[in-house]
A and B are shown apart, each in its own frame.
Chain A
Amino acid sequence: MRVFKAYKYIVPALALSAMIASCNKLVDVAPKDVLEEKNMYRNVFDADAAVIGVYGKFMSLATPYIVLNEVRADLMSTTATADEYLKQLNEHDVKEGNLYANPKPFYTVIMNCNDVMANFDIMLRDKKLKQEEYNMRYSDIAALRSWVYLQLGIQFGSVPYVTDPLSTTTDMQNVGLMPRIPFNQLLDELIKTMEGLPYIKPYSATSSLVATVDGYTTKKFFVNKEALLGELYLWRNDYHKAASILKNLMETGGTGDLYNYRLTGASKADNNDLAVGYVRYREEDEGMLIDNNSQGWRSMFARDEDAMFDREWVWFLPFNKSFDPVDPFVDLFSNRGGSYKLKPSQYALDTWNAQVQKNDFAYDARGKVFTARSIDGQPVVMKYLYNYLNGTGFTPLNVFEKNGKWFLYRAASMHLDFAEAANRDNHQSLAYAIVNQGLTTIPKQITGEGFPYNFDARKSDNPKITGDWCLNVGVRGRANLYSQTVTGDSTLSIEEGIVSEAGLELASEGRRWSDLLRVALRRNDPAFLANKVYEKLVRENNPRASEVRAKLMNKDNWYLPFKWK
């Protein structure tokens, strides 16, 4: 016992001496495996690392982005194996503790952005960044933050708008308690931020952030500011401004570029295109559909990042087996190698199958073949799986190697956004042409109007004219579909058509809920949104269909409860 008593004093004594010793100069060497905050922002490469770091964090939003925007809307539904949280979203009955309906991951990204932006300011002040370098990086992160805020607004309505960097983790806990601003006020703030950005174009090709890393070119990894601003204007019903900024984006390639973001049609001789096409002279044969990973409409979601890929994609982020985070979509969607929690809704399948292709086939191949393929008798959301499953038999190439992409924005989204703005800005026929058979169908193939409605789709040999839009075939034209019919009020009818076409073209890309919500808000018509969700539930014999419809007829129920966890 006495020996023990002695130890009682020896141990603290030793500890104390160790503490004192640590103050000694001799051991006060900076640890080599830890980066101290004061050393984090020293030069432009540190700034680049910060940007990449923010995007790395941002990728954790892939799951909530797709789940919230698709499961709450009409084109995606839960399977029997879906978890309780997904079912709650599907039936618009979100309970406390729902993992997907949590604003915190969004704010984690926002706080990262705020911190990085504040440090960029310091770097500029300390002359560690050139003005031009600062402009690009600061604008990028500010735009990304605005994009995340827009998503928060769409899902939660009123949210706290925080732009200051927070220093401690306790501050993070307090975000949930901060005052919230209504959605419209948030939109105004975001537009103000975006309009005030020093730089609105993508990173210049010479920027150190545009490089090839791990086999990917980084140029399309970053949020597109023009596209975001265009969407923000659409949310605020500022149609002319939306059309103007989107027109700039649509003409990214400049005069003489006939392909980039121009939505061109099928290349019938070799089928090297992004269109729904058939082997030449055999269009009437179902088996001759171009259905592989390197040609045709499907290849958009499967092909390598080549020139053709760049013609369509504006923004995407890759998931790769070699680095984190793991592709969450395989687990959500695949019934081979995944958990198959979500599937295309019956309503979506019915909508595709109600279309008629130009070869008179009574369906839209984008639906039952490319986007919602039937595997083992189950409809599967395919867009995210073409790099995971093999191209013909649709079995996993390697069950554990989950390669894929998070698709965020592409030319078709851009054209549909522009059409939405043009339609409301008294250019209905132009909007109709863009959505249906393209700009070559407008009278005289040229609008003869000023910006942003100046389109030239002429093509002639004598006199030699090649309008920039002469190869445009429209969204439905590219999908080999006949045009939509317009009934009643043309503006409303065309808008209906745009939303419907956005569903067919962009299904499961995480746009559906925001499209439905935006138009329902604009029209002040809850039924526009409620009926579509109702249709989805009814066609799957969900007993809560009417209850959900009644709930969505009240605008307050369009937003998720803001529960901080």
Chain B
Amino acid sequence: MRSTTKYILLVVFIAVTGTWSCKKWDEHNTVGQQALNENLLEQINKNASLSKFSEYLTKTGLDKVLSSSKNYTVFAPVNEALAALPADVVSDTAKLKAVLQNMIASQQFFTRNAMDSIRVAMLNGKRVFFYNKKFDDANIKDADIAVRNGVLHIIDKVITPLPNVWDYVVTSASTYTQNGYISSLNFLQQDRTKAVLDSINPITGDSVFKPNTGMVVVNTFKTKVYDIAAEDSLYTYIVLTNPGFNSEVDRQRPYFQSSKTDIVTNNSSWNVVKDLAISGLYTPSQLPSALLSKFGVHVPINQAKIVETRKVSNGIVYVLSEAACDMAEKIPSFKVEGEYPSRFASTADKYLTKIFYRNRLNTLTGLNFKDIYMNLGSSGANYYVDYLTNQLYTGKYKVYWVAFSDKTISGQGDDPYGTDSTLQQILQIGDYSFSPVYTPVFNKQMAVTPRVYSEVYLGDYTNASYDYPLSAPPATDRSDTASMKRIRLLAPATATTGVPLNLTLDYLKFVPSF
């Protein structure tokens, strides 16, 4: 008797709480339509307005995918929308499959996941925007139909797969010189994951691969600028019409002179195109007056000069008749920091123990700086330090240095460091040259007055030739020394009595003149 009462009470209690909590549940998480005993295919087959879609699924074999036990999201276009598909697509099973895959995602996405716009990864590897009740351009007529293996949205338009920026570049290579140039930047490289291992270097422990195995074609625009074939990223790509591109290339030519004419065109073209792929999606309504490239160049965008706008799967392409960038940004001034030397005249201990990497406060800028100070005294005659750079293009550069010289009393009671005298330093610039003979074309001796923090103008340096293609992949041999310059900070052979042959350098600055 007692136990019966207990059971009744228990049943009543569960029933009450159960119904009450059900209500609560409804309030905060509603699923509009539920058919959890059906899979996606069954649900599609049941819907008369999706009969065409169902038919095509069967035709392409995707029906088996949608009746499997994995989760999918299907954006199914209604019959009227599918009727608009061109006949050549419908008749070609491969093409048709690609179109259908562009509307199927291998994960569940409800409209509540798309409160903020998301890019849904589709079965064909593309990504398509999904935002509220919009699937790309299509409107979602019937949303969030939850079934056993996923979710179904019914849309009013077919969303066909778009090419990506890279596809666009390749297909329009013959139309636009710029795209022709980019698609020509193919180099054979060894892919270490595919190459055949030959041996292990016993000294360094590095792997040695058999030559000519695992060779793959690499486009250096994709490796050096952005991988514009990546579907997961978004790019804004600018194509210049042929006259616009040619005039922009011509503007670069003076700075890429070379004894080899093909290198002149190659480097000038490279210097134009490297700034024309920009990270991020800038739709026409969001276009600023200039886009900032990966290399710090502002590409001016004049709305009036936009010839064509083309949507691609990983961004947007603008065809512009003109985009003349500031040459000061294209050929930037650059610095060689004193504290990063490439080579010393001698690495004997008696020299190296007198080379100091210092820290000082520049009272003009209020910033700390690091420099190199060679406290060589009388033994410094003809001692030098070399800096190597590949960044000096052709044309005239104004050369400056900040060389800070001072004298500091030793905190440990030893001899002071540095000098109060005015030092003499020589700066030379010449080709890298493998041979020990170094023939600088720039040679300037200048006094270094103590405690001067400002930039000192040394003179003009003109580089006549730049012989290495900038678009080439990182050199594995020493081919890149073709354009390399050796900058040498040199102590004079003699000095006035009492003046040490010390060297000091914060940085060198090269400012191109236009």
Q: Interface residues, chain A, CB within 8 Å of chain B? A: 266, 268, 277-278, 280-287, 353, 356-363, 480
Would B360 and A360 count as touching, CB distance under 8 A? yes
Answer whether residue B368 sits at the interface, using C-beta atoms and an 8 A cutoff.
yes
Contacts of A360 in B (CB 8 A): 358, 360, 406, 408
In-complex Cβ contact of A268 among B359, B368, B412 (8 A): B412
In-complex Cβ contact of A358 among B359, B375, B409 (8 A): B409
Contacts of B361 in A (CB 8 A): 356, 362
- In the bound assembly, the distance between CA atoms of A249 and B359 in angstroms comes to 39
In-complex Cβ contact of A362 among B368, B375, B410, B415 (8 A): B368
Given A268-B412, A283-B410, 7 additional A-B pairs, CB 8 A: A284-B356, A284-B375, A285-B358, A286-B359, A358-B409, A358-B411, A359-B408
Would A361 and B412 count as touching, CB distance under 8 A? no
Would B359 and A363 count as touching, CB distance under 8 A? yes
Answer whether residue B129 sits at the interface, using C-beta atoms and an 8 A cutoff.
no
Contacts of A359 in B (CB 8 A): 358, 408, 410-411, 417
Contacts of A285 in B (CB 8 A): 355-358
With both beta carbons as reference points, the residue of chain B lying nearest to A278 in the complex is identified as B412
Contacts of A282 in B (CB 8 A): 353, 356
| CB proximity to A under 8 Å, residues B66-83 | none
Q: List 29 A-B contacts (CB under 8 A).
A: A266-B411, A266-B412, A268-B412, A268-B413, A280-B414, A281-B414, A281-B415, A282-B353, A283-B408, A283-B410, A283-B411, A283-B414, A284-B356, A284-B358, A284-B373, A284-B375, A285-B355, A286-B356, A286-B357, A356-B361, A358-B409, A358-B411, A359-B417, A360-B358, A360-B406, A360-B408, A361-B360, A363-B359, A480-B411
**Minimum-distance CB pairs A-B, first 8:** A358-B411, A362-B361, A284-B356, A285-B356, A268-B412, A361-B359, A284-B417, A360-B408
- Interface size class for chain B? 20 to 34
Answer whether residue B370 sits at the interface, using C-beta atoms and an 8 A cutoff.
yes
Contacts of A362 in B (CB 8 A): 359-361, 368
Most buried by B among A268, A285, A287: A285
Contacts of B412 in A (CB 8 A): 266, 268, 277-278, 280, 283
Contacts of A361 in B (CB 8 A): 358-360
- In the bound assembly, the distance between CA atoms of A268 and B375 in angstroms comes to 19
- In the bound assembly, the distance between CA atoms of A360 and B412 in angstroms comes to 13
Q: What is the minimal beta-carbon distance from B429 to any residue of chain A, in angstroms?
A: 27
Contacts of B414 in A (CB 8 A): 268, 280-281, 283
Would B353 and A281 count as touching, CB distance under 8 A? yes
Q: A283-B417, A359-B411, A361-B359 are in contact. Are A353 and B353 (CB under 8 A)?
A: no
Q: What is the minimal beta-carbon distance from A62 to any residue of chain B, in angstroms?
A: 35
- In the bound assembly, the distance between CA atoms of A362 and B356 in angstroms comes to 15
- In the bound assembly, the distance between CA atoms of A357 and B410 in angstroms comes to 11
Q: What is the minimal beta-carbon distance from A166 to any residue of chain B, in angstroms?
A: 50
In-complex Cβ contact of B370 among A266, A283, A286, A356 (8 A): A286
With both beta carbons as reference points, the residue of chain B lying nearest to A481 in the complex is identified as B411
- In the bound assembly, the distance between CA atoms of A282 and B357 in angstroms comes to 10
| CB proximity to A under 8 Å, residues B170-202 | none
In-complex Cβ contact of A357 among B356, B411, B417 (8 A): B411
- In the bound assembly, the distance between CA atoms of A284 and B409 in angstroms comes to 10
With both beta carbons as reference points, the residue of chain A lying nearest to B409 in the complex is identified as A358
Contacts of A287 in B (CB 8 A): 357
With both beta carbons as reference points, the residue of chain A lying nearest to B406 in the complex is identified as A360
With both beta carbons as reference points, the residue of chain A lying nearest to B415 in the complex is identified as A281
- In the bound assembly, the distance between CA atoms of A357 and B415 in angstroms comes to 17
Contact with A along B395-417 (1 / 0, CB 8 A): 00000000000101111111101
- In the bound assembly, the distance between CA atoms of A480 and B417 in angstroms comes to 15
- In the bound assembly, the distance between CA atoms of A145 and B361 in angstroms comes to 48
- In the bound assembly, the distance between CA atoms of A505 and B359 in angstroms comes to 21
Would B408 and A284 count as touching, CB distance under 8 A? yes
